[in-house]
Copies of this chain bind each other. A is one copy, B any other.
Amino acid sequence: MEHMMQRAVCLLSGGLDSCVAAYKAKEKQYEIYPLTFQYGQRHAKEINAARTIASTLTPQKHVILELNLKQLGGSALFDDVSSLPHHDLQDIGQEIPSTYVPGRNTIFLSVALAYAETLDAAAVYIGATATDYSGYPDCRPEYFKAFQRLADLATKQGIQGKPITIYTPLLHLTKGEIIQQGLRLQAPLHQTWSCYSGEEKACGTCDACLLRLKGFTEAGVPDPIAYETFPKWYKY
């Protein structure tokens, strides 16, 4: 099967990183097929952000797959908000955080790979970064190398010599660099959502908000979304 444009399945969480990763795929002229998981997150705000971002990327269907990972237990991301991590900025990323969902990237990539195989797509894009979260086993470069090897063996395309490529365009970028890339690509950063809570405004105190605000500080631009409060070091 040959397509006019090559296809790429883009994992979209609704957060900043996956949005920029998908815009990287768009820059490479891929036809984008967005894929989002509803996996038992505490709130729908991220999914709605993913919907909005998807609509800016492509006229293709946005697949939102329900997968209740809560049934497997194991992460603070499924508990109520009170148990969510609030660290000082310098302590984030020093150990495997309680929000770590075991196997999340492996599950997401597996489904993305299956979808890519069905679509006869050439690529899968994931916005993983090895920089801010060195504590996640499944964000390391050697992990993605092993997944690529698996993809080459697991798919019809792979055994026919046209493997599906797993792209991790943000892997070695800092949050500040990701934001700069997003600005350059005119990605809708104002539509992304990172905060662990699902209130109208981002809390400005959870680990996800702190990393995001640090990134905007590094990038030298204000974060376009609204916050309940800001850390003292945030200058805008």
On chain B, the residues within 8 Å of A107 by CB distance are 107, 110-111, 114
**In whole angstroms, how far apart are the Cα atoms of A198 and B147 in the complex?**
36
The stretch from A10-18, A45-53, A137-145, A204-212 touching chain B is A137-145
A66 and B68 form a contact (CB under 8 A):
yes
**Shortest CB distance A21–B (Å):** 20
The stretch from A86-94, A149-157, A185-193, A220-228 touching chain B is A149-157
On chain B, the residues within 8 Å of A104 by CB distance are 114
Interface residues of A in 42-76 (CB under 8 A from B): 63, 65-69, 71-74
On chain B, the residues within 8 Å of A63 by CB distance are 71-72
Q: Does A85 contact B (CB under 8 A)?
A: no
A68 and B68 form a contact (CB under 8 A):
no
**In whole angstroms, how far apart are the Cα atoms of A102 and B112 in the complex?**
11
Given A102-B155, A102-B156, A156-B137, answer yes or no on A69-B114 (Cβ-Cβ < 8 Å).
yes
B73 and A102 form a contact (CB under 8 A):
no
Given A117-B103, A156-B137, A158-B137, answer yes or no on A111-B147 (Cβ-Cβ < 8 Å).
no
B65 and A68 form a contact (CB under 8 A):
yes
Copies in the assembly, this chain = 2
A153 and B159 form a contact (CB under 8 A):
no
B153 and A118 form a contact (CB under 8 A):
no
Q: Does A4 contact B (CB under 8 A)?
A: no
**In whole angstroms, how far apart are the Cα atoms of A84 and B54 in the complex?**
35
Q: Does A115 contact B (CB under 8 A)?
A: yes
A74 and B146 form a contact (CB under 8 A):
no
Nearest B residue (CB) for A113: B103
A residues near B, CB below 8 A? 63, 65-69, 71-74, 96, 101-107, 109-111, 113-115, 117-119, 137-138, 140, 142-143, 146-147, 149-150, 152-156, 158-159
Q: Which 6 A-B pairs have the closest CB atoms?
A: A103-B114, A74-B118, A102-B117, A110-B110, A146-B150, A106-B110
